[in-house]
Structure 1
Amino acid sequence: MLDDLVGKILDKISGTSLLATGLLLLTAFVSALVAYWRTVEEKSWKEFFEFVIPHEVITHPSAKADLLFWVTKKALMPFLMLPAGIVFVTAVGYGTNWLFSTLFQFQPPLIEGPAGPVTVLIFTVSMLLAYDISYYLYHVAQHRYPLLWELHKVHHSAEVMVGITKDRVHPLDELMNRAWDGLIVGLCFGIWSLISLNLVELTVFGVNVYVMRNILMMDFVRHTHFKISFGPLNNLILCPHWHQLHHSTDPRHYDKNFGLLFSFWDRLFGTLCVPRPDEDFKFGLVDRDVRDYQSLAGLYVMPLKRMWGHIARSIRPGKSRSRTSRSSEGTRP
C-alpha cells in the first residue's frame, strides 16, 4: 500500500521533462515579446533585448543576490525539498487511507482496474484545487504570523524582479510549505486512494497537468517586470501583473493577491486587488535595514536570528523591546 502511494505521488510530480522545460522557456519568451510590443512604439531587436534585460535591473544588488541565492540553493539542496514533499504527502495519505479503511472495515480500493475518464477528470481537478487552496492558506499565514513572516520576507525583499526571483524562498520556508501541503493535499490523495490506486492525472499533449499548471500561472514571468494580463481569464487564473501587485510596497497593496494559480480564492476571501492596466509597482520591503537582505548571510541567516528574537520575546514577555527588535519586524508589503 505504501509503495503504491509513493509511486502515484512520484508519477504526479515527475513532469520535469525537456518538453516541459521548453514550454516554460517558450512561454517566457512569448510573454516578453507581448510586453515589449505593447510598451514600445519604435521596435528593434536591440531595443527588445534592452527591454527584456534592463541594465539597471540586472546590475541591481537585488538581482545579484537572487543569482547567488539561486545558485547556492541549487548546489546545496538539490535532494532536500522534493523528498520532503513526498514524505509529508505520503505520510498523511497513507494515514488517511488506513484510518478510513479501518473505521469502516473495508479493503481499498473500491474501484478495481483503471479508472474511467470522468473519474480521472474529477481526481485531477480536485488535486489541483487541493494544492491551490493549500498554497493560498499558507501564504496568508506567512503574512499574518510574525515567525512565518520573517522567513517570507526573504521573498519580498527583492527590489527588482528577474524571473529567478521566484526561487528567492528561504529553505526552511519551503520545507514548512511542503509540510503544510502534506496536510491538505495528502488528505485529498489519501481519500482518493480509497477509491482507486490506478488513478493518474490528465495530460495535455503528453505533458503532466501539474506542468501545465506551472505554465499557466507563469511563475517565472510573474516575477519579472512584464505586465502580462489574461483579460477575461483573469477571473479564473491569477495573471503575472496581478501577482506583481502582491510585491508592491504601496500600502494599498499589502496582503492582496495571495493566490498561486486560481484567482477566485482571493475574490472569495476578500483579498483580491485588481491593478490598473499597465500600472507600475515599486518592489521590496520598507524596512530600515532592507539592504541587509541583499547578501547570502542576510537571506539565509538573518531570518533565523529574527525568528529566534520573536521566540525569545514570547518567552520573556515582560522584557522591553529594543529599537533593533522593533525594526526587525518590518512592514508587510
Structure 2
Amino acid sequence: MDAFYELLEGFTGFLFDWNSRLALLYLCLTVALVYVIWRVRGRPTSFTAFLLPRAVYTHKSNLVDIQIFLFNKLLTVSGFFAAVTLTPVVTSGLLTMMLDATGGDLAPAVGAGEWGKLALATLIMILTLDFCKYWAHRLHHENALLWPFHALHHSAEVLTPLTANRNHPVFVVIRLLIYALIIGAVQALMLFLLMGKIDVLTIGSVNAGYFLFNAFGANLRHSHVWLSYGRVMEHILISPAQHQVHHSNDPKHYNKNYGEVFAFWDLMFGSLYVPKEHEILSFGLSDENGVPIEQPHPTLRAALLHPFVEAWQTLTKGTTDDPASPQNRETAQ
C-alpha cells in the first residue's frame, strides 16, 4: 500500500510543487488572468468557451500531449531523469579541484551586512539558468541531429499548458546535461569566490523569481490566448505572445524567440521577434515555404520512435527527409 501511495504522489505531486507550472496555484492564477483578458476584450464568447475552446482541448494533438506527459512522468517517478541530473556532482567536483589547486578554504557564508553578495549570487544564478535554457533551446533548433527530438514539441498543432511538457526524453536528458555543465560550473565558482555555501536564501530567491514567472502568464505561453507585454517590455522579457510566435509555422517566425524569461538573449544573438500587433498564428511543422507537413507524431509510439529514425537518417546519410529540419529550412532563414 505504501508503494501505491508513493507512486500516486509521484504522478500527482506536480499539482503542489511550486517549481511546476502545472501546480494548482499557478493554474488558478492563469484562470484569473484569462478572466481579466476576457473582460478587457469585451466578453467575445462565454468565459468557458474562451478559456477552454472545444476545438483545442479535444484536438488529437492535445491527446498526444497528455500521453507524452504521462510517459515522461513515469520516467520521472522511476528515477530515470534523476540519474542524469548531475549538477550537484559537477559543482562538487569543480569546487574540489579549485580548492586543491589553490590550497584555499571556502569564503565565509553570507551573513549580516553581506546582502550584496547574496543579491549578486542570486542574479548570477537566474541569468545563468536562463542563458542555459536559451542555448539548449537554440542548439536543438539549429543542429540537424538534435532537431528531431525537439521537433516533437513543435509538431503540436494546438497549444495548451500541457504542451510545455511535450518533450522527447532524449531532449530532456540533453538539456539536463547542458544544465549540469554550465550551472554546475557557475555554482562552484560562487561557492569558491562569493559565499562559502549555496545559501538557502539564494536558492529561495531564485525560486521566488520563477514563482513570479509561473504566476503571471507562464501557462499562457502554450495556449490560444494572446498576451503581449508591449514592444518596450518585449525587448526585456519574453511574453506569452512571443513564445506563441516561436511555435508559428510562418517562415518569418522560424528560429525566433528562443528565450524563456529574458528577451535580451534573443536581442544579443539576433533571434528576437517583437510583434507589432496581434497576429493570427497557426501551429505545427511546415516546410521552408510555410506549407504544413503531415503530422509525424500522431501517436505516442510515433512520438517516441520517429525522432530516432530521423536522427539516424541524418547521422548515416548526412541528410533527412524531414522538410521541417534545419537543413531543409535554410532557405527560409
TM bucket, shorter chain: 0.7 to 0.9
**Paired residue for 1:302?**
306
User: Do the aligned partners of 1:236 and 1:264 also contact (CA within 8 Å) in 2?
Assistant: yes
User: Do the aligned partners of 2:66 and 2:162 also contact (CA within 8 Å) in 1?
Assistant: yes
**Paired residue for 1:245?**
245
Query: What is the TM-score with the length of structure 1 in the denominator?
Result: 0.82
**Paired residue for 1:163?**
161
Question: Could you say what secondary structure the match of 1:151 adopts?
Answer: helix
**Paired residue for 2:118?**
120
- Superposed, 1:27-42 pairs within 5 Å as 27-41=29-43
User: What's the offset of the Cα at 1:210?
Assistant: 5.1
User: What's the offset of the Cα at 1:217?
Assistant: 7.0
Separation in structure 2 between the aligned mates of residue 182 and residue 237 of structure 1, nearest angstrom: 25
Letter of the 2:166 counterpart: R
- Superposed, 1:175-324 pairs within 5 Å as 175-194=173-192, 195=194, 196-202=196-202, 208-209=207-208, 211-212=210-211, 214-215=213-214, 218-231=217-230, 232-286=232-286, 290-314=294-318
Separation in structure 1 between the aligned mates of residue 59 and residue 305 of structure 2, nearest angstrom: 21
Letter of the 2:219 counterpart: F
User: What's the offset of the Cα at 1:75?
Assistant: 2.9
**Paired residue for 2:128?**
130
CA-to-partner distance for each residue in 1:40-94, whole Å, 9 max, x for gaps? 4456xxx1111111111112111111112212222343354652464x2112212
Greater shift, 268-277 or 155-164, is seen at 268-277
Separation in structure 2 between the aligned mates of residue 284 and residue 155 of structure 1, nearest angstrom: 9
**Paired residue for 1:12?**
none
CA RMSD of aligned residues (A): 2.8
**Paired residue for 2:13?**
none
Question: Could you say what secondary structure the match of 1:266 adopts?
Answer: helix
User: What's the offset of the Cα at 1:27?
Assistant: 2.7
CA 1:149–1:112: 2 relative to 1, 3 Å: closer
User: What's the offset of the Cα at 1:248?
Assistant: 0.4
Letter of the 1:297 counterpart: R
CA 1:79–1:229: 2 relative to 1, 3 Å: farther
**Paired residue for 1:5?**
none
Letter of the 1:110 counterpart: A
CA 1:302–1:23: 2 relative to 1, 3 Å: same
- Superposed, 1:64-75 pairs within 5 Å as 64-75=63-74
User: Do the aligned partners of 2:159 and 2:222 also contact (CA within 8 Å) in 1?
Assistant: yes
Separation in structure 2 between the aligned mates of residue 176 and residue 48 of structure 1, nearest angstrom: 40
Query: What is the TM-score with the length of structure 2 in the denominator?
Result: 0.82
Separation in structure 2 between the aligned mates of residue 215 and residue 162 of structure 1, nearest angstrom: 15
User: Do the aligned partners of 1:150 and 1:329 also contact (CA within 8 Å) in 2?
Assistant: no
Count of equivalent residues: 304
Q: Do structure 1's residue 327 and structure 2's residue 322 form an aligned pair?
A: yes
Which consecutive residues of structure 1, in runs of 5 or more, have no partner in the other structure? 1-14, 315-320
User: What's the offset of the Cα at 1:312?
Assistant: 1.8
User: Do the aligned partners of 2:19 and 2:207 also contact (CA within 8 Å) in 1?
Assistant: no
User: Do the aligned partners of 2:130 and 2:259 also contact (CA within 8 Å) in 1?
Assistant: yes
